[in-house]
Structures are given as structure tokens and as C-alpha cells.
Amino acid sequence: MNKIPVWFDTDIGVDDSIAFLVLNKQPQLEIKGISAVAGNVELEYTYPNARNICCLAGKNYPVYKGAEKPLFEPLQTAHAIHGEEGLGRGKLPVSHVPHTDIPAWDAIYNAAAQAKGELRIITAGPLTNIAIAILKYPQLRDLVKQILIMGGAAAGGNVTAAAEYNIYADPHGAQIVFKSGIPIVMCGLDVTMDAYMTPEEVYALGAVDSPVCRFFRDSTIDVLNFYERGSKPGLCLHDVCPVLYLAHPELFSGKQAGVYVETRGRITRGKTVTDLMSDKKFPERNAFVVLEVDRDRFSAMVSEILRSY
């Protein structure tokens, strides 16, 4: 079986780490590299977090440092949700894989060139690294098959009433990616707020006596409490959505639509303006907007994968 080459770009925080652990167990996908970006927490944490989650999984994927801040906006972190170092109360083993000085954007280009047009990029954080790669290497438009984004929302937002965090954090970077011409799959809040594990499912998985499930338990406890205080039905696994969409699209449904990012709005900065209805206002239907998920199957699949470590 020809495996699908995949790149994982992340501001590795709590749901990012679960997304990686799920991605690592997809037999039809081959992780070619991981890049860390500043987002949930600073790069000084997201970079070692990305290295160390590989160590927990028993893998030594190459991990590259990316942007310390968005293209133009100041970095706005989410320590209140993801904790001081981005992993809640979770602790990871320390990776001893040698460091590399190759920056994320160069590594992404190298992987795309090597994959000869088959590379899929999964993003779980602000799109700064991908935007820089596209600006430095315009030929990426013909080398990257698909970018699967956790980000945006056809309706609503979580950082503001209009914007989801990953897009809000770097709206200019996001706009460069959405306008790149590379086919986009947008897993926005429309689907990710329904992609949750119930508290009972979280506790059951966290009770399994294994290093991965103990890490899951410790890293998610405060985030679950955050969602419960906001009267949400459970632990939203936002970043797992693009991973499982690529591996198991049958769990999801959505619509092709034009999507562009508001970069200047005082109230609407970072909004992914999504033309789901008129379908006439944007020149292209540049993104597949994922709107629904089979939650029961999604949650069961995540549990089964984390128990398998």
C-alpha cells in the first residue's frame, strides 16, 4: 500500500498532542515531519512539546522550529486553557533526538519536493509557518496536494464572537494560505465543537494504566473542566478533526465553498468569511468546509487508538 505522506504543523497544546497520538497510529499515513509554531503557548514550549510527544509515542520523527510570533500581530497565547507549558498537568519524557537548524518553512518545502506533489499538510495551530513557506517557495502551490486545517468557523468564534483562535492569532498568515490556490479542508468550530468526548468517556480512557492514557488524563483534566464550566457537553478535540478527516472521511460531511479571512476588521479580525449560501461572491470555492461529524464513532475511534499504545 502506498502510504500518504503527511506533514504535521502544531502549536502543541493539549488537543494537538492527542491529534499527534491519533495521527501516529494511522497505517495509511506516513509522517514526514513535524513543525512547531507559537500559538497556545510560546515556541520555547511548543518546540520541545513536539519533540517529547514523539518520545512518548516511541518515535523519532524530525521536528523543526517555526515562527516565534504571527506575521504582523503580537503573539496571543492561551495559557489559561493549555497551562503554563501547553500540556495541562501532563508530563512527557524528554527526547534526545539531535536538534536541526533547518527552519520549519525550509523543511516543509523539502518534504513537499520529495513527495512529488502528494504531500498533505495537517495544521493544528496558527498558520504562520505555512504562510512563510508559501511566500518563500511559491512553487509549493503545485507541490502540496492538500492543506487540512483545524481553524476558522463558518459561523461563530471562540476567541471573539467572529473568530476561532488559530485564524484570529495570525489572520494575515491564514489569508495567505486560503488564497494560495492549494486545496483546503477547513475543520472549523462548526464541526470541532461537536467532535468531543463526554466526561464519562474521558474518565474511562484516563483510567487505563498506560503511559499514554496517564498523559491523556493529566493533560486533559483542566481543559475538560474549562469546557464543563462553559456548559459544553465534553472535551472538544479540535485538532483531531483534520487528522481523522484525512484518515476516515466517512465520519464527516461538509460543503465546498469560498472562504477568505478578514484581516482588518476591528470586530471581525480573523473571521473566516464562508460563502456557504450565495456561492457567488468569491472567485473560487477554495475550501471544503467540514460541518458535521459522527461523534460517537469519532470518540470511540480516539479512545481505541489511545488504548492501543
Nearest alpha-carbon partner for 123 in 271, 224, 23: 23
| Stretch touching Ca ion by CB under 5 A, among 98-106, 235-243, 262-270, 292-300 | 235-243
| Stretch touching ligand RIB by CB under 6 A, among 8-16, 109-117, 197-205, 217-225 | 8-16
Residues 6+ apart with CB under 8 A from 205: 197, 213, 216, 217, 303, 306, 307
Scan for cell 515562527, then name that residue: 67
In this structure, are residues 86 and 53 in contact, taking their beta carbons and an 8 Å threshold? no
Chain position whose Cβ is nearest to ligand RIB: 165
What residues between 145 and 164 interact with ligand RIB by CB under 6 A? Answer: 150, 158, 164
172: annotated active-site residue: no
Instruction: Supply the DSSP symbol for 137.
Output: -
User: Total number of residues binding Ca ion (CB under 5 A)?
Assistant: 5
Q: Is the dihedral of CA 112, 115, 118, 119 positive or negative?
A: negative
Is residue 125 part of the contact set for Ca ion (CB under 5 A)? yes
Could you tell me how far CA 260 lies from the centroid of its own chain?
19
* Partner touching 47 among Ca ion, ligand RIB, none, CB below 5 to 8 Å by kind: none
Q: Which is nearer to ligand RIB, 66 or 137 (CB)?
A: 66
Instruction: Provide the mask over 227-246, with x wherever binding to ligand RIB is found by CB under 6 A and - wherever it is not.
Output: -----------xx-------
Residue 1: Cβ-neighbour burial (10 angstroms; 0-12, 13-18, 19+): exposed
Please give the Cα distance from 53 to 6 (Å, whole number): 17
Coil/strand/helix, residue 255: strand
Among the options 96, 99, 172, 238, which is catalytic?
Answer: 238
Q: How far is the CB of 124 from ligand RIB (least distance, A)?
A: 5
Of 39, 48, 83, 206, the one binding ligand RIB (CB under 6 A) is 39
Q: Which residues bind Ca ion (CB under 5 A)?
A: 11, 16, 124-125, 239
Q: Which residues bind ligand RIB (CB under 6 A)?
A: 11, 13, 15-16, 39-40, 124-125, 150, 158, 164-166, 238-239
Catalytic residues: 238
